[in-house]
Structure 1
Amino acid sequence: MTNKDFFRLMIKLFGLYQFLLLIFTSLPRNLQLLFNDFFSISSIITLILITLFILAVYYVFVKKPDLIIDFFKLDKGFDNNEITVSNLNSDTILQIGMVLIGGFLIVDNFGYFISSFITYFKISYMSENLESLKIFESLILGGANLILGFCLIIYRKQIAKKFQ
């Protein structure tokens, strides 16, 4: 594996993680802003800009990582052009990255999901109010991140084949 291949894999993994975080954190918040402002021009423009930014992150980091490697000259200045790894190939490294990203999503959102779950039922039992709806939204977001983390771990081989 060459240095450029290694950096390409790392940038793709980082890009995938950032893309998933942006999709499941930034986009729902801005959709909520859109509905709260009753489709005002500023909220529509903000949503369009956020969507374009998310697509740009995906394009640059996942589809065209060579742009970043060439811009920062990441593959220059090494004594060897090859990285020797005995039994690791790019598919295995991608699978390890998927497990790490999925594990981080699970660990990071498990407590948040359980806390939101308990709080939602406490508040909804007491009364119907706006706070219950906000807690429900955070419950859905935490649940989606947990499901995504489990899917990344379970389907890591299929996902890694898509990135080859």
Structure 2
Amino acid sequence: MALGLAAAMLMASSAGVARTAELVQVSLSDKGASTEMPMGLAYTTPGRDLSKATMGIKASPGAVKAGEVTFKVKNDSKDTVHEMIVMYLADPGKPLPYVEAENRVDEDKAGDKGEVSELDPGKSGTLTVDLKAGKYLLICNVPGHFGAGMWTEFTVGP
């Protein structure tokens, strides 16, 4: 009887245990401040050739389950400040709202879900957000960086 009671209590207590956050390692990189930044490499730009990109974002894994997601972000650049912003794509394949005069995405209109603000070279930051299933972009929105190809697609599954 005591064994059965102990088993029942264990099962009841484990039912309330919260799932741990999904962990995503993010690397922000570039080929150096002296390298010319090509433009026209923003998400959904027709005919873009990302092999010409001098900046990039890598996320590992590139897909997680819906719920709490923790991004551990490292600026692997030697001389350039970068940031990482999580953008929800309400309509994947459609361009993000862009402010040409500022050479950056309009974060307020684009669906900003959180960010690790400007990181100096070699520095790291963490962001934990609750994400629903869907398509996202991880972007760097330092002026010019998004247009230079500094973004990656990210998927959150059910």
> Which structure's residues are more often strand, by fraction?
2
> Which structure's residues are more often helix, by fraction?
1
Q: Provide TM-score, normalisation by structure 2.
A: 0.19
Q: Provide TM-score, normalisation by structure 1.
A: 0.18
